[in-house]
Structure 1
Amino acid sequence: MSAQINGAAAVAAAFVVFSAHLYFPTTAHFYSPTTPLFGNLSDLTAPFPFYPLTVSSVSIDHQYDCKYNPLCEDFPPDFPPPDTPAVSVFCVDPNGCCDFTTVQAAVDAVPNHSRKRNVVWINKGIYFEKVMIPASKPNITFQGQGFDMTAIAWNDTAKSANGTFSSASVSVFASGFIAKNISFIVTA
């Protein structure tokens, strides 16, 4: 008889050993730094009494190094889509589900003088910030999630902002700007 065990048999044997290890309720069968993980292999010959297994405080979700946020569960797993030669996507979410939490930070990340269409995808919410798109950032699209669900709001007045021209919540100095499904609000 060959001394080698094929991979499937080894996995099955490990599962049986591990399962047996879980069903024996003595302290000799629980892993500690001083005992081997599977205990004594001769214990497999003992009868299998039934003991319910209770596991608590175990989570298998998000086993990679990142911040878990339950508010982000609504995002599709492949969002935002990868960049293409013609389009780059910058994702904004106030809850931290995207790369940016402010619209201005996403605008600042757009490369200067880009010939690509740069879509700033803005998740639903009201963003209380003043946004300025300089002339060096052409071809930006603000894509909201509905004019009644996504808004950029600021509360400048002509008096507080040194004139009406500077009181806008969103100022666009670049060519090729497009806004879809989003509201711009001056709350003053």
Structure 2
Amino acid sequence: MLTPVEEHIAFHMAIGQAITQWAHVENGLFNICTVAFSGVPTKVVGASFYAIDNFRTKLAFTDNAIAQSNTFKELIEDWARLREQVRALSSTRNKIAHCRTIGFYGASAGRRYAIVPISYKEPKIKSKRPLPPSGSLCVRDIDLVSRQFSRASNLLLDLMAKAQGGQWLPAEHAPPEPQLRSLKDIRSLIDAARSQR
């Protein structure tokens, strides 16, 4: 089991990894755009792409670039599946980036810290000790989504490589869709980090 201190470390580490992995997802979209705009200098594409503030617009910009690009003509179905996967993940990214982090010190291991939705329904039956409300993200959830973001960024880079006639090698060896890790497995990450000292 995770001690409260270990859970605090694992929870915030998972948030940091998730935000970092999401940056790779957005960079994957940028890389796809550079291929779709082949012949246009990368700095021009970059200045245009990174002037867009929100993710939905970046995704729409990339979608339109792919639709107009002959380079991706054979990959439209692959892109459509990947676009929907990334779109679905973006709502969880928004929760991680914009919702409150609250400690629930009386909760069971793995539920002591949570990213809590901005609005939620109060439970009909009150617990004797405060618990994370429905829709909260706890350490296992955030750890999972971090790995989903990582997988999505690899799939985006693989799509880019396929459009260029190649393959993104990390995607070839990527694990299948990630599953929830146990608290024991999450704790082992802390133990591994300790042993590196």
Q: TM-score, normalised by structure 2?
A: 0.18
Q: TM-score, normalised by structure 1?
A: 0.19
Greater relative contact order (CA < 8 Å, ≥ 6 in sequence)? 2
- Larger helix proportion of the pair: 2
